[in-house]
Amino acid sequence: MTRLLVVRHLAAFALVAALAASCGGEGSSGASEATPAARADIALLFMGNSHTSSNGLTEMVAAMVRAALPGKSVEAVVAPGSMFLDERATDVGTLQLLRSRNWSFVVLQAQKYSTSGLFEYSTLEAELLIRIAREILAVPILFPEWPRRGIAETHRIFDLLASIARRQPACVAPIGQAWDLAIARHPELALHAADGNHSTPAGAFLAALIIATTITGFSPSGLPTFEDIGVNAAVQAQLRAIAAETVLVYGPRQWCPADP
């Protein structure tokens, strides 16, 4: 079954390569027309599913990068739709968006993985997206999902994305490790939504801290308190400390050490 899946994806790659080479600016699944070159000093493109788009996570990342780099303008754009990376890599609109601007960082979330650990899914699509990001001189960042409530899967998810980064250099944000540490230290904090899978605002805030640190290289401990994000000042302080400790142990740039 795994072999069939890989064969299908390889065939899809060939099709998308032909489409991307010949497509001028029309016809895509929900994509807008190509936008002009980014005017922000730091332009962030997020590609993922509801884990990326929920609770204002991308806006939090942008605000944190602005706070860490005063005087720099920061823009965050979320690719339309909710897709896995294999779908992104075969979606003409996604590829047009990726190539349409001078992105500084491209954050990639939603690599398929086996929740049981019994199956393997292709990583070729994620590797393709990383290569394209590199072609446009953007720094690719892989976004491993946090573990589902009560399931010890942080290292399985992280190791899968690290294996991708070893083949195609990318930064890997240690989000799951930060969640595990926060849950161990502060079990009273609600990071998971009611479904045990998605985030609460506090969970999104913690993930955003790790992503922002991956982008800037600065410790989360130096960030200010943010208003109107659904996370009170005391909890923000606790999560900043957790994030700062996590990135010291799990360096997010160990597979992209040469990137600015």
Residue 230 backbone zone (phi > 0: left; psi -120 to 50: alpha; other: beta): left
Give residue 67's domain range: 36-249
Would 28 be classed as within a structural domain? no
Helix (H, G, I), strand (E, B) or coil at 142: strand
With a cut of 60, say whether residue 17 has pLDDT above it: no
Q: Convert the pLDDT of each residue in 112-122 to its tens digit.
A: 998 887 889 99
The DSSP code sequence of 193-232 is -TTSSSB-HHHHHHHHHHHHHHHH---GGG----SSSS--
What is the distance between the alpha carbons of residues 104 and 260, in angstroms, rounded to a whole number?
Answer: 10
Q: What is the pLDDT of residue 179?
A: 98
Q: Convert the pLDDT of each residue in 69-82 to its tens digit.
A: 999 999 999 999 99
Say if CB 103 and CB 43 are below 8 A apart: yes
> Quick one: tokens of 237?
């302080």
- Give the CATH number of the domain where residue 199 resides: 3.40.50.1110
Say if CB 213 and CB 175 are below 8 A apart: no
Would 8 be classed as within a structural domain? no
Would 257 be classed as within a structural domain? no
Question: Cα torsion for 142, 148, 152, 154, to the nearest 10°?
Answer: 10
Would 12 be classed as within a structural domain? no
Burial 89-99 (b: 16+ CB within 10 A, else e): bbbbbbbbbbe
Would 10 be classed as within a structural domain? no
With a cut of 80, say whether residue 257 has pLDDT above it: yes
What is the distance between the alpha carbons of residues 36 and 56, in angstroms, rounded to a whole number?
Answer: 25
Q: What is the pLDDT of residue 115?
A: 85
Q: Convert the pLDDT of each residue in 218-231 to its tens digit.
A: 999 999 999 999 99
| Alpha helices (H) along the chain | 2-22, 50-53, 57-68, 85-88, 92-100, 124-135, 154-167, 175-185, 201-216, 233-249
pTM: 0.86
Q: What is the pLDDT of residue 37?
A: 47
> How many structural domains is the chain composed of?
1
Mean pLDDT value across the chain: 88
Residue 38's pLDDT band, with cuts at 50, 70 and 90, is low
Residue 175's pLDDT band, with cuts at 50, 70 and 90, is very high
What is the distance between the alpha carbons of residues 196 and 192, in angstroms, rounded to a whole number?
Answer: 5
> In degrees, to the nearest 5, what angle opens at C-alpha 171 toward C-alphas 48 and 179?
65
Q: How far is CA 40 from CA 44, 107, 178, in A?
A: 9, 17, 29
Q: Which of 81, 79, 84 is nearest to 100 (CA)?
A: 79
Amino acid identity of residue 235, one-letter, is V
Would 258 be classed as within a structural domain? no
Mean pLDDT for 129-143 is 98
Say if CB 172 and CB 143 are below 8 A apart: no
With a cut of 80, say whether residue 34 has pLDDT above it: no
Which range is most confident: 24-33, 49-58, 117-126?
Answer: 49-58
Would 159 be classed as within a structural domain? yes
Q: Convert the pLDDT of each residue in 181-210 to its tens digit.
A: 999 999 999 999 999 999 999 999 999 999
Would 234 be classed as within a structural domain? yes
Q: Which residues pair with 19 in a beta bridge?
A: none
